[in-house]
Each structure stands twice: as structure tokens, then as C-alpha cells.
Chains A and B, each alone.
Chain A
């Protein structure tokens, strides 16, 4: 029997709907959005709470074997300590030693970005005279090996530099690990600014392990980086992503929050506005990686809710998909990272660090207190 359409062959086996949904719940957001055109019942899958539950579980199941590192900043001090958390409910913790350069002084050590192939980037920032001095290490916790990253700038008497490392990642083309940082330059007095040629204001630098030096990057980027040190950067599949802001020219005091996605090999970037949020509602944002997707945890001050949104495609504003919104008790302050099984960690106003258990819909303390804005979790 001739078929009218050569391409379509009759399907002999049809899977029941629950299996089809199971398969769909494993797809990246981009595929799901495209397949909304397959049939009407697939149009709004990500708005169905039951499907979202399945989807979120798949997003996080791969990380079940990973270890979770908690960087604790002890409240009212500048000390930071590392803990390895494990166990079904993170009930076990082991204090983990910093690499030796931080043994004497563990003041304000933070982890920049994600763990990349088992290595993490550690940064300790201190002000020496008028310049931020950064001690940067690339550290492999498993082998305890570390590499000290040389400083990028020499201090200049009339200038003040503010350095923010926004990305640590891997370039698969050159098989090299790289760091990217933003340098903000201020003149310490106006005379200097007048006499000397216009300051660069802001510029970017890249470091590679193989070259072991920094070089300036010719990057035309109009957005500013956030001064907040943790939660603003992640790495996934050759691309470093970080949060930035850009002043909206049309309306004063309206700042757009953007995601900058920087390809470590091509050294090119795209920006994706984080829309959908009223910029007048104060909101803490924290970047995490869920399986193969970049996600933003947004915590809203006015109603103490947090939501998780996934990026479908870098550079495409419409591709943000909000998975769900959860209300939290008012004692919860801000997110500090994600753990295995998609558990989201928070800090409470009293300093206690907690995680949100999706199955019981409760927050659970882990018995460690942390300082505002500095504590963080890192998936190894």
C-alpha cells in the first residue's frame, strides 16, 4: 500500500504516556520548547507541577556521587573553614584542610566559580595600601596539589585597582586552564587623572596555566561585574558564566541584571538579560549548574520566596524557564549554593546554614553557622 507521505512510516509500537513523559523529562529545556509543537498536550509541560518534579529530579540525579564542600565564614570573624559534607542528609561532616598557602591565614578565602575537572579556584582578597591584593590558587582537593597564580598587576602609587575574578574554566582546544578577571581602575586623586592619559577605567585579563602569566584582553563589554564575591560565577562545558549589571539608559535607577557567557576557547562572549523580574523588587541571585544547565536561584525579599530558573540557550532572553517557586520561612536570609539531589542551601538571619529538603518541604539545619554573603557550597 503506497503511503501518501514518504517520510512518515507507521509506528508499530507505541509507548504509554507515562513512559513518554519520563523520556521527555530528561531533555534539555531547548528540546522541550521545540517539542511543544509536537502536540497540544506537550505545549506546557514545564507548567505542570508533576512534570516539573520529575524534570527537576532528573536535573540533579547525576550529582548523587559528588562530594559537597562547604566554605564557612565564621560570623563576626574573618576566618573561613572548609567542610566536606556527606550522607543522605549531610549529617556527616569532616573539616577539610585548606591548601598550605592558606594554613597560616585563612582570612576570607572564597571559591571562585565551579569545580572544573576536580580543580577549584581559591581566592583570598586583602587590601594592601590602595590596591586589592589577591592570593589566587588553583587547587585539586583530591590530590592536594595546588598552583599559585602570579599577580597580574604591580601596584602603582596613584592608582587603585579593584580586581574581580569572574571565571575559572577549561579550554579544550589548548588543553589549558584559564582564569578571566575584571580590573577596575580608579585614580586616587583628580590631579593624576588630569595629567595622565585617560584611565582605561575597566579592562579584562586572562591567565592560562600553560603560559603562567596574565595578558590583557581586548573585550568590548559595557556591563559591570557585581562586587559580591560568591555565587556570581559558574563553569559549564567550556563556558564561564557570571552575573553582571548594566545601567538602563532609559530609566534612572533601573539596573538590568545580565548573564555573561564567556567561551574559554574562542574568548568571545554573549549576554543574556535576566528578565521576567521586576527590578524594583530586591532580589538575591545565585548561579548554579544543574546537570548540563545553568540555573539562577532568585530569592525575593518581599515575600521570601525563591525560584529556580534554567537557561535554555545563552544569548536568548526568552529561553529562561522558571521551574518553580517556593516560599520559605522569614528566618531564611539568602541562598548559598546547591548540593546533590538539587538541594538548595541557604543562610538564616541567625547565621545557621541550612538546606531545603524538597521531599519534606522543610529547611534543615546542618549545625554550622556562616557569615552573610560569604559562605558557599561547592559541588566537587
Chain B
């Protein structure tokens, strides 16, 4: 029997909801947490790998991203423009809550490039926003007294012009 090459081997992942995803091992390599699990196992991994912190919606998005990026990079001609368009659509398609959920999943699965992209996306979203928007976004409670906050705002007055309306 001829050897099955790495790129053809399939890994099965199981999300919190029990959904199974068959993933090419070449894609699974980008999920570093999964790859570490595979590397650590003595035998070939045949049963589905459970991902207790990852939901179907997030895994589906992550695999979609990775599959597309692999496709863009493997082409004979560099598909930089297409990739940029895909990335922009990808970022726009999510609500803020979904974006954060995806960041958590990408962080858990250790998908480096995607995490970089998502973190940058959030940075771009909040860059020109107000203090209140940012508190809301990150679920942060204001621990300044009104006087302390007023003082700080006055000290950094220049940083408050040009802020987008919430």
C-alpha cells in the first residue's frame, strides 16, 4: 500500500456542540494547539479531537479563513488583491461580539496569522472611537472618580478632537 502523503491526511475536530469537522492535516498545522496535540500523541490520531473551548460558529469561520488563505497563497500568481478583499469582507461580516468570540477561539487554537489580523481589525475599529465606546466594547468598568476622569481628560484634551460619534 503506498504511503498517504501528509496533505491528504484528514483530522477530525469536535466542537463544544459536538459538531465534527474534517480538516486536512496541512490546514490543521495552522491550528498550533491541535498540531501540538497530534505531535504529543504516540499513535496516529484517529478519533475526533475534542475542542472544549471552541464553538461551531468560530471553528467554521477559522477553517474558512485558513482554507481561503491557503488557496490564495498556493496560486501560481500571487493573489494579494483577492486576499485583501476577502480579509476586508471577513472582518466586516462579524458583529463586535462575534469578532471577540473569534479572537478567543483563534487564541485558544493558537492560529497566529488570524489572531494578528483579528487584533489589528479590532484596533482599527476602536482607533477613533470614544472612551465610552471602548469601555463598552471590552466590558470595562470605569474605576475613576468623576473628578479624576475630568482631570485626565483636560490633561489630554488634544487627544479628544476628531473622535467619532458612538
What residues make up the interface of A, taking CB atoms closer than 8 Å to B? Answer: 7-16, 19-20, 22-24, 26-28, 30-31, 33-40, 43, 312-313, 316, 318-319
Contact = CB atoms under 8 A, between A and B. Distances in A.
13 contacts: A7-B136, A10-B139, A11-B97, A15-B100, A19-B119, A26-B123, A27-B123, A27-B127, A30-B158, A31-B128, A34-B131, A34-B160, A312-B158
B116 to A, nearest CB: 9
A13 B158 contact: no
Most B-side CB within 10 Å, residue of A16, A23, A28, A36: A23
Interface of B: 97, 100-101, 103-104, 107, 119-120, 122-123, 126-128, 131-132, 134-144, 149, 152-153, 155-156, 158-160, 163, 166
B131 A37 contact: yes
A34 B142 contact: no
Contact of B139 (A11, A19, A34, A37): A11
Contact of A15 (B136, B138, B163): B138
Given A12-B97, A14-B139, A37-B149, A26 B131 contact: no
Contact of A34 (B97, B120, B138, B159): B159
B163 to A, nearest CB: 7
Contacts of B166: 7
Contacts of B141: 39
Contacts of A33: 156, 158-159
Contact of A40 (B97, B122, B143, B156): B143
B140 A38 contact: yes
Given A7-B132, A13-B97, A15-B103, A38 B142 contact: yes
Tell me whether chain A's interface is mostly helix, strand or loop, or mixed: loop
A43 B142 CA distance: 12
Given A34-B160, A313-B158, A319-B158, A39 B123 contact: no
A26 to B, nearest CB: 4
Given A7-B166, A13-B97, A15-B100, A35 B158 contact: no
Contacts of A26: 119-120, 123
Given A23-B119, A23-B123, 8 more contacts: A9-B136, A11-B139, A35-B131, A35-B134, A36-B156, A38-B131, A39-B135, A312-B158
A39 B122 contact: no
Contacts of B158: 30, 33, 312-313, 316, 318-319
Most A-side CB within 10 Å, residue of B144, B152, B158: B158
A11 B153 contact: no
A27 B126 contact: yes
Contact of B104 (A15, A28, A312): A15
B144 A37 contact: yes
B163 A19 contact: no
A210 B166 CA distance: 42
Contacts of A10: 139
Contacts of B131: 34-35, 37-38
Contacts of B159: 30-31, 33-34, 312-313, 319
Contacts of B123: 23-24, 26-27
Contacts of B132: 7
A37 B128 CA distance: 14
A347 B109 CA distance: 45
Contacts of A28: 127
B126 A20 contact: no
Contacts of A38: 131, 134-135, 138, 140, 142
Contacts of A34: 131, 156, 159-160, 163
B29 to A, nearest CB: 23
Contacts of A23: 119, 122-123, 126
A36 B156 CA distance: 9
Given A11-B137, A33-B159, A39 B142 contact: yes
A39 B128 CA distance: 17
A316 B163 CA distance: 16
A40 B143 CA distance: 6
